[in-house]
Structure formats: C-alpha cells, structure tokens
Amino acid sequence: MKYKSTRGGVAGLGFTDALLMGLASDGGLLVPESIPDVTSELEDLRHCSFVELAQHIVGMFVDDIDTPTLNRLITQAYSTFDHPEVVGWHELDKVTVVELFHGPTLAFKDVALQLLGQLFQYVLALRNQRLNILGATSGDTGSAAIAGVRGQDNVDIFILYPKGRVSPLQELQMTTVSDSNVHCIEVDGTFDDCQRIMKDTFSDLDYKEKYQLGAVNSVNWARVLAQIVYYGYASLKTPTAAQFSVPTGNFGNVFAAYLAQRMGFPINKLIVATNENDILARFFATGEYASGEVHQTVSPAMDIQVASNFERFLFYYFGEDSQRLRGFMSDFAATGRAGLGAAPETSLFAAVAIDQTQTLAVMRDINARFDYVLDPHTAVGVAAAQQLCVADEPVLCIATAHPAKFPDAVNQATDTMPTHPSLDALSGLPQRKRSLRADLSTVKRHLAKSVLA
C-alpha cells in the first residue's frame, strides 16, 4: 500500500514515511492509493476480537513494518485499556452506545493515539531519528496524544489549546503531566486559531524540516486508520447494516466510518451530529462550506468551524480530482466559503445540528430512564440518532468521552456529579503550561527556542 496527497503533489509514499510526514508536503492530506475490499471476509471477521480485527485491518494498509512486529505494537497499544474488549457496548432503547472511552485518558482519541505512540517509538528508533510533534486540540486530542508519547526519548510534543475553551479536567490531563518532553501551550483564541497556526506552521516546509515537525492530529493518516477498526468491529455486531451517529467537529471520526463503509463493512447510514457550530450540517443541507463565528458550548471539543479532515472526504466526493479539490480549498482559504452549487448527492450521509437545550435534555432523559450518564458530546450524537434514525434498524452512537470529564455539564443536566479515579488524582497537582497570543510568528519562535534548548 502506498500513499498520495489529496492535492496531487505527493505520491508513492510508504506507510512509515506517511506516518512521519503527517500533513502532506504540498499542503494536502495523505490518503491510501487504493482502498482494500473486505466484503468476502466479513463472516470470518465477525469472530475476531477487537485486537485481532485491528491487526487484520491495519495490516492491510502497512507495507513496511513486518507482520509480527506490527501485531506486537497493536497488542501493546490496547493493553492500556481497562475494558476486556477495548470497546464497550451499552443498549439504550433503540440506540446502542459504542463506548470508546476506556483508554488511559477516557476519550475515543486513545484508540488511535495509543497505537500512534507505539508506531512513532518503533519507527523513530529504527531510523535513529527525532520528532517534534505539533498538535492542536479542542479538548481530548491533546491529553490522548500526550499519553501516547510521554517519556519517550526521541519525541517532544507541543500541544496548542484554546485558553478557557477546554474543560478544566481536560486541561489538567495535559498540564499536570510532568515528563520533560511534554509542552502545553494555551493560546488566547479559539480552537480554529490553534488549528490554523498548526497547519500554517506545517506549510512552511523549510521550518518543518529544520525543526523535524510531525503531526498527531487527525491530519495524520495513521489516526484515521486506527479509527476504521472500531467501525468495522461495531458494524459486525449488528444483525443488519448499521447506522452510526457520530458527534462531529473535525470530521476525522466520521471520515473513518466512511472508509469502513467503502471497504465493505455493513454500514448504510452515517449521521453527522454537530452542535451549534454547524458548518458540516449546513454543508450537507446546502452544499455550501462556509465558516462562521465559533460558539462556545457545553460540548467544547466540537466547537469548531473549520473541519480539518473534511478535505479527505471532498477528495473522494470529487472522484479523486485533485485539481477540483485545490480550487475548492483555495476558494475557502481566500473567502471563508466554497460551494458545490447544490446539496451533495449522497444517500450515505445525513447531518443535523443539536443545540445546547437539546443536548442537556437528552442527557437528563437518558439518565432518568436508563440510569446511564452521557457526556455532552455523546449526547449530541444520541439526540441526532433519535431525530434522524430509520425505524427498526440498529443505531449505533459513538460515545466519545467518559462523562466524568465534563462534570459541570453533567451536573447541570442530571444533578449528579460523575467521577473517575484517574481524574480525581489530578486535583492539586502542579501544572506546566505556556501562554501565547494566537499569532503564527509568536508560536513559531517559541517552538524553535524550545526545540533548540
């Protein structure tokens, strides 16, 4: 399997080169040159454990790590989870919650980032290289990425996050990590500011090479690859083709579901569930992709108006036409909007925006009827599933975080205060962070100084 860029300037990369490149050197995103077909294997794959299925699927996309080594890295990655099958399963009436929060930072990002950490460590040691990871987070990516690489000798990690716009516990999960290779930077702005700074930094190819920058956000192909696994795994546990409702901000999670469907896993509907930051819901309704003001909500990880992974979907929607994609993305970069001229022609996707009132109401209702606590992001997905699901077909809602990570929102909705021992242990620990303006040159100077220190 080789990799190419959505923008047409990069092709023929092996997996480990794609892993370390992160964002493509032409400014695009890396995708596989072909998508494997598992249709003939589905019955056999139904009997796989999560780890076995991960070994099979990931192995189909990796061309330059031998199978025994790759399988060992995958096994080690998921040994950190506290659920025997990595993924939990909780039925709520017509909606089944697929719990992806049993990893070390209690967020779905752990499923990909524990594996990414193992891959980075192995490949960098093999090549005798160093990597300085630059990431931006709206909440969970930062702590999960840090947990994946903390303490590694050949990696430093720099995480940008918006000041005052992640939950206090999410911030503590990042800033209380004492390992010297971890650098947390609070940016006086929004997540979109953090993401713009990150992408603009990677676009400076001389700077990227000089300071050995790598990506850990979902712009890194390996993140998306690892996420394909849980969609395949969950879809094989339903009696008929599955519908997934996916709380969505950056489009990476639901894009992985799209690839699972293209591989042949039994999936017939993907519900793109957004909060008031509804750029994706508006796109699927009208065909116009237009950024707006970022609204601060009780589901902060979804407070995003520019979905960095959306380019990968557009690449496939445009029939892998890189020229058309470049034009679309150029228009968006120049004006903040670009359009198809009409709603996209797709029967696979449906999209809806769920506001805070609906989010809190669903949290309250599920707790009252099932004695089950949803975090506010998962609640967006459940509300969307209830609104858009097709009767008598299984609806699987992706649970993105443990509710204890968002105690204020949960308490507001349910008058309960969820806890978790790993979060309780953060109280009173010293924090390490640097505060910077939302300015590209300021962040680049800080990175350069830190890397050379």
DSSP 296: P
Pick the catalytic residue from 109, 199, 208, 405. 109
Q: Is the dihedral of CA 301, 307, 312, 318 positive or negative?
A: positive
> What is the full DSSP assignment across 12-51?
-B-HHHHHHH-B-TTSSBEEESS----GGGHHHHTT--HH
- How far is Cα 14 from Cα 62, in angstroms, rounded to an integer? 8
Tokens 């968002």 correspond to 406
Q: Over the range 284-305, which residues count as b (16 or more CB within 10 Å of their CB) and which as e?
A: beeeebebeebeebbbbbbbbb
Contact of 293 with 305, CB cutoff 8 Å: yes
Contacts (Cβ under 8 Å, ≥6 apart) of 144: 103, 104, 105, 107, 109, 110, 112, 113, 114
Would you call 323 helix, strand, or coil by DSSP?
helix
Task: Reply yes or no on whether 237 is catalytic.
Answer: no
- How far is Cα 151 from Cα 282, in angstroms, rounded to an integer? 42
Burial label for 280, CB within 10 Å (0-12, 13-18, 19+), is buried
Which residues are the active-site residues? 109
